[in-house]
Amino acid sequence: EIVLTQSPATLSLSPGERATLSCRASQSVSTYLAWYQQKPGQAPRLLVYDASTRATGIPARFSGSGSGTDFTLTITNLEPEDFAVYFCQQRGNWPRTFGQGTKLEI
Amino acid sequence: QVQLMQSGGGVVRPGGSLRLSCAASGFIFKNYGMHWVRQAPGKGLEWVAFIRFDEQTKYYSDSVKGRFTISRDNSKNSLYLQMDSLRPEDTAVYFCAKDLIRGTTNYFDYWGQGTLVTVSS
């Protein structure tokens, strides 16, 4: 099973700042990695897939990068609605796995 | 618009059974793989099961293999999860989720609203 390790566990920033979230895979997943945003009481929302492709309707301030085992989600010019929990997920191998999440807080 | 409407869930005793349903609309259901993903209270996301668009392939996480069964009825645009031999550690909100791209991709672009399953004596 591929283990995804996200860092940091919590990231404290202010609106207007830049957030950098990391996801490291225990073995290569090529570029088969996605990022999701989840707010309390809601289902996750797909932000980025294939490491760097923004999903439909996702603002350009969200960008993904990386390949192999190291991936980054960058959120520029943080908006108040961006404060949430972010998960990475791989589809390189079965079982599909998620990281443990990074909480982005004000 | 795409909608995944879940039903089922509730409280069940250890060793008991429960069936979750997910009614899909707004897309051609028979063309997409579907998944169940769960989230224990206050915890992260755990992928549970997958069924290919044509039912020819199913995968399960090790934690539920042999106890849970994923199925679908393309004539009814519906996805199911039969959960048997339930354990307290199965307590979670269960989400159904749709594959992003026709065929198979295993990224999840639409999710159900989630349904809480509580396994407790």
**pLDDT, mean of residues B62-87:** 97
Once rounded to an integer, what is the mean pLDDT over residues B29-38?
A: 96
With an 8 Å Cβ cutoff, are B44 and A101 in contact?
yes
Residue A55 pLDDT: 96
Distance from CA of A15 to the nearest CA of B (A): 25
Tens digits of residue pLDDT in A53-72: 999 999 999 999 999 999 99
B2's CB contacts (< 8 A; 6+ apart) are B24, B25, B26, B27, B98, B110
Give the distance from residue A46's alpha carbon to the nearest chain B alpha carbon, in angstroms.
6
SS3 content of chain B, % helix, strand, coil (to 5): 5, 50, 45
pLDDT value at residue B51: 95
Q: Which residues of chain B lie closer than 8 angstroms to A91, CB-CB?
A: 105-107
In the predicted structure, residue B104 carries a pLDDT above the cut 80: no
Average pLDDT over residues B11-27: 97
Return d(Cα A44, Cα B25) in angstroms, integer: 19
Residues from chain A that touch B106, judged by Cβ atoms under 8 A, are 91, 96
pLDDT tier for residue B102 given thresholds of 50, 70 and 90 = confident
Judged by CB atoms closer than 8 Å, whether chains meet at B44 and A43 is answered as no
* Most A-contacting residue of B60, B62, B106, B113 (CB-CB within 10 A), to test interface: B106
**Residue A74 — pLDDT band, cuts 50, 70, 90?**
very high
Angle at B5 between CA B3 and CA B6, to 5 degrees: 150
Q: How confident is the model at residue B103 (pLDDT cuts 50, 70, 90)?
A: confident
Which among A44, A55, A91 has the least Cβ separation from residue B111? A44
Q: Are B36 and B49 in contact (CB under 8 A)?
A: yes
d(CA B47, CA B66): 16
